[in-house]
């Protein structure tokens, strides 16, 4: 029987879905008190779709390349999402820029994970950029999605040192492991109400955060 107080989320993906799998596992182990109502991809070959199907989660695919205008894609995506009446939209490797129209429909309720220590390295190729920039540290950030690309208020970050012999592959695989830990944590803090997004700020237990929570491993 579904617990009516459990929050519901639609997860959007574009690829392998390892973050999705970490969330599915956290739901199963009850670390994360969330119902993943559906998984939607913009790419039909996304391996994450199989992961969702294995967990008996409804899936669908709305291919972005069938729409010439970004706004029309977003309207179709919203229509599909609305079928599930989610409390949150969770972006887990969803490689599309959402229009302000889309974001405004779910203000403060769209969460993203990004593979860098934001505000450093928004956009793509973050691991290579961190190496090229000779950074000592790299990591990942869970943040609220706003119209500012990868610029919404950060919730949690995990930081790792960059090793001398790291390339973008070794670095991304170490960062990904941290992503799997911080995403479920950030979502559970939000769902439980311990963490709130109000007046454009993040509040933890009624105290305004001045920066993201840093998770150490």
Site residues for ligand GAR, 154-193, by CB under 6 A, read 176, 179
Q: How far apart are CA 25 and CA 47, in angstroms?
A: 16
108 binds ligand GAR (CB under 6 A): no
115 binds ligand GAR (CB under 6 A): yes
**Residue 178 to residue 188: CA distance in whole angstroms:** 16
Q: How many residues bind ligand GAR (CB under 6 A)?
A: 15
Residue 16 as a binder of ligand GAR (CB under 6 A): the answer is yes
β-sheet with 88-91: strand ranges across: 59-61, 34-41, 7-13, 88-91, 110-114, 137-144, 154-161, 213-215
Which residue's structure tokens are 């459990």?
A: 6
Of 74 and 179, the one with the shorter C-beta distance to ligand GAR is: 179
SS3 90: strand
- Cβ proximity to ligand GAR, 18 vs 37, nearer residue: 18
- How many angstroms separate the CA atoms of 132 and 150, rounded? 20
Q: Does 19 bind ligand GAR (CB under 6 A)?
A: yes
Residue number with CB closer to ligand GAR (188 or 196): 188
**Is 143 a residue of the active site?**
no
Q: Check binding of 74 to ligand GAR (CB under 6 A).
A: no
CB of 207 to ligand GAR, least distance (A): 27
Confirm if 61 and 49 have CB atoms less than 8 A apart.
Answer: yes
Please count the residues of the chain.
217
Residues that bind ligand GAR (CB under 6 A): 13, 15-19, 48, 92-93, 95, 113-115, 176, 179
Residues annotated as catalytic are: 114
């Amino acid at each position: 029987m579904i617990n009516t107080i459990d929050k519901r989320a639609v997860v959007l993906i574009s690829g392998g879905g390892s973050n999705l799998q970490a969330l599915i596992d956290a739901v199963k182990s009850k670390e994360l008190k969330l119902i993943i109502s559906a998984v939607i991809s913009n790419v039909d070959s996304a391996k994450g779709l199989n992961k969702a199907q294995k967990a008996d989660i409804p899936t669908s695919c709305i291919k972005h390349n069938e729409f010439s205008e970004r706004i029309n894609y977003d309207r179709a995506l919203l229509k599909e999402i609305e079928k599930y009446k989610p409390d949150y939209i969770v972006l887990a490797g969803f490689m599309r820029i959402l229009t302000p129209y889309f974001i405004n429909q779910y203000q403060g309720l769209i969460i993203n994970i990004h593979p860098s220590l934001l505000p450093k390295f928004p956009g793509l190729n973050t691991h290579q950029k961190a190496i090229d920039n000779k950074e000592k540290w790299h990591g990942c950030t869970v943040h609220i999605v706003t119209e500012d690309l990868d610029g919404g208020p950060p919730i949690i970050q995990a930081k790792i040192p960059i090793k001398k012999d790291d390339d973008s592959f070794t670095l991304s695989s170490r960062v990904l492991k941290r992503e799997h830990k911080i995403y479920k944590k950030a979502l559970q803090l939000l769902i439980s109400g311990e963490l709130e997004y109000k007046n454009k700020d993040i509040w933890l237990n009624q105290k305004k955060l001045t920066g993201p929570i840093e998770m150490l491993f």
